[in-house]
Amino acid sequence: MDKDPQPVKKENVFINDVNERKSEKMKRTLLIVTVCVVAVMMCLSLTACGGSDAYVIYSDNAFAPFEFLDEETNEYVGIDMELLAAIAEDQGFEYEVLNEGFDASMGAVQSGQADAMIAGMTITEERAETFDFSEGYFEDGQILVAPEGSDITSWEDLSGKKLAVKSGTMGADYATANKDTYGYTLEVYEDSPTMYTAVSNGADAACVEDYNVICWAIEQGEVKLVTVGDIVNPAYYGFAVKKGENAELLEMFNAGLANIKASGQYDEILAKYGYGE
């Protein structure tokens, strides 16, 4: 004989109802928190690059006289920094500069982390495959550099020796292309000062550097080095954006550059660092 069904206790029904309401409340709270977190992350992402009124522009951090740290003010100064400031003022755009190094600057532009870069970057056909460049704003080339009193008088003297280069630069490209011809091996460094030190202390026989950059260091008494031979790869530096992007910024840079040249401000900036057209 079947047993009579047992009545459900009222307190159990009450407890289950409370638990269900708590569960629904927790779900709603979790949803709200998730939405807020996503919104904050989106805002941060937009603000970092292209989502605010200020452009994010990367640069080198040790490439005097184009960009270098002024130890008195703890701010980055140099030809690139002053040209950019003058052009931005002329064109009325805001920007933020992050001096993170040459390789880091190229990577930031290519990944979309930066809107542009200005870092003594030579305009080349190979780089033009991944970057769009402004009109050239300064012409330079590379040169062989050796310690004072060295027996290095030409590229041929590098046979069996170590040659220092800076990562990602035209000097590194030239040295790589000619290492079998002259019989040297390469040592790669992340910045110019470290490269200079390696040559000065005898770790490497010589290095390759942009002519005006090493001449500045020599004239400032920062290094005991000398230039060797003639300039190679003469070409212009350019302001760069990721290929196909930030066309408006590139147009403003070109327009501003033309204006400050016409006004004489460009020559004034270069004259501060000992250069002229």
pLDDT tens-place string over residues 27-82:
554 444 343 433 434 444 444 454 568 999 999 999 999 999 999 999 999 999 99
Residues 243 and 228 in one domain: no
The number of domains in the chain is 2
The answer to whether the pTM exceeds 0.85 is no
Q: Confirm whether 76 is domain-assigned.
A: yes
pLDDT above 90 as % of the chain: 80
> What is the extent of the structural domain holding 230?
141-234
Residues 125 and 246 in one domain: yes
Q: Confirm whether 19 is domain-assigned.
A: no
Cα–Cα distances in angstroms (integers) from residue 184 to residues 113, 200, 216, in the given order: 37, 18, 27
Residues 104 and 145 in one domain: no
Q: Confirm whether 259 is domain-assigned.
A: yes
Which residue type does 238 have? Answer: G
Query: How buried is residue 85: exposed, middle or buried, by Cβ count under 10 Å (0-12/13-18/19+)?
Result: middle
Residues 246 and 125 in one domain: yes
Q: For residues 119 and 56, give the distance between their C-alpha atoms in angstroms, rounded to a whole number.
A: 14
User: Per the structure block, which two tokens stand in for 233?
Assistant: 């790869």
The radius of gyration of the chain's CA atoms, rounded to the nearest angstrom, is 29
pLDDT tens-place string over residues 188-243:
999 999 999 999 999 999 999 999 999 999 999 999 999 999 999 999 999 999 99
Residues 154 and 230 in one domain: yes
β-pairing, 185-189 vs 162-166, is parallel
Q: Confirm whether 170 is domain-assigned.
A: yes
Output the domain CATH number for residue 184: 3.40.190.10
- Count CB-CB contacts under 10 A for residue 186: 14
Residues 249 and 127 in one domain: yes
Residues 228 and 170 in one domain: yes
Residues 58 and 120 in one domain: yes
- Length reported for the chain: 277
Residues 80 and 145 in one domain: no
Residues 196 and 68 in one domain: no
Q: 3 by DSSP, 3-state: which?
A: coil
Query: Closest Cα partner for 144 from 164, 159, 161?
Result: 164
Q: Confirm whether 197 is domain-assigned.
A: yes
Q: For residues 13 and 78, give the distance between their C-alpha atoms in angstroms, rounded to a whole number.
A: 76
Residues 114 and 97 in one domain: yes
Q: Confirm whether 34 is domain-assigned.
A: no
Residues 108 and 131 in one domain: yes
